[in-house]
């Protein structure tokens, strides 16, 4: 008998605007709190967007914001932990919306296990991902390949934490977009991607499925894939 918690997985196609995806996370947090939804995992790529977390500093944005917006870019001030980062095409962003009561660890262990999911996924491609204390995220040598920033939402009905926000894994994204910020507020270390390390492209869909497999193993959950849908 399978007693593992179910997590519904939504691998969305195309590029997704940041704002509506954030609103969807808030909606799902409420639905999970009300017992109307299973824990869920959104996996997607965003249109070019810079997001600023709760610990972010304005001086870490190095570009003309108005000009960026006029070019169709988005800048979002959000309620996750961390500083400024970039999201865009060629980057897998994962938003686990899960009840921590369905998970054996606490908030600190949750962050470490998100890192573990990415470390295991990278190892499938011969890449050695590592943690770098005191920072959160996954690194290859001195280069950051995956940023992590989350929010723990206190449930109203169930009185427990429900997670939102998550991780961003650089697969084949334009790394020059990070030159316009101080990523995660860390000046001394650059970023990297799977493409830069391997010298060849890897299918986003392949890595997405590998992330789900590793998520199941690390978090002790059973995934249930759902049909993609549009967010606009």
**pLDDT tens digits for range 88-102:** 999 999 999 999 887
Q: What is the pLDDT of residue 145?
A: 99
**pLDDT tens digits for range 56-99:** 889 999 988 888 888 888 899 999 999 999 999 999 999 999 99
Residue with tokens 């003309």: 64
Q: Let me know: does 136 contact 115? Beta carbons within 8 Å.
A: yes
Q: Let me know: does 112 contact 67? Beta carbons within 8 Å.
A: no
Q: Let me know: does 97 contact 162? Beta carbons within 8 Å.
A: yes
d(CA 72, CA 43): 23
Q: Let me know: does 191 contact 178? Beta carbons within 8 Å.
A: yes
In the set 146, 173, 184, 224, the catalytic residue is 184
Domain spanning 6-225: CATH superfamily: Bira Bifunctional Protein; Domain 2 (3.30.930.10)
d(CA 9, CA 216): 11
All structural domains of the chain with their residue ranges? 6-225
The count of other CB atoms within 10 Å of the CB of residue 65 is 12
Query: Which of 182, 207, 195, 201 is closest to 94 using CA atoms?
Result: 207
d(CA 48, CA 15): 9
Note if 184 is an active site residue: yes
- The β-bridge partners of 166 are 149
Q: What is the pLDDT of residue 232?
A: 65
* DSSP SS3 for 177: helix
* DSSP SS3 for 228: coil
Q: What is the pTM of this model?
A: 0.94
The segments of the chain whose pLDDT lies below 50 read none
């Amino acid at each position: 008998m399978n007693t593992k918690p179910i997590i519904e997985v939504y691998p969305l196609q195309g590029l997704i605007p940041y704002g509506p995806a954030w609103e969807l996370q808030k909606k799902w947090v409420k639905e999970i709190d009300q017992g109307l939804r299973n824990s869920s995992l959104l996996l997607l790529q965003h249109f070019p967007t810079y997001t600023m977390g709760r610990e972010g500093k304005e001086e870490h944005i190095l570009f003309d914001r108005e000009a960026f917006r006029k070019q169709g870019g988005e800048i979002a001030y959000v309620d996750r932990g961390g500083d400024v980062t970039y999201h865009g095409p060629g980057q897998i962003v994962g938003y686990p919306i899960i009840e921590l009561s369905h998970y054996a660890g606490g908030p600190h262990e949750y962050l470490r296990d998100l890192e573990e999911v990415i470390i295991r996924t990278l190892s499938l491609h011969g890449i050695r991902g590592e943690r770098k204390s005191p920072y959160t995220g996954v690194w290859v040598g001195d280069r950051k390949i995956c940023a992590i920033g989350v929010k723990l939402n206190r449930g109203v009905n169930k009185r427990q934490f429900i997670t939102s926000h998550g991780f961003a894994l650089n697969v084949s994204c334009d790394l020059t977009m990070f030159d316009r910020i101080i990523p995660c507020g860390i000046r001394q270390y650059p970023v990297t991607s799977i493409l830069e390390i391997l010298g060849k492209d890897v299918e986003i869909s392949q890595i997405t499925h590998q992330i789900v497999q590793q998520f199941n193993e690390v978090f002790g959950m059973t995934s249930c894939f759902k049909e993609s849908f549009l967010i606009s």
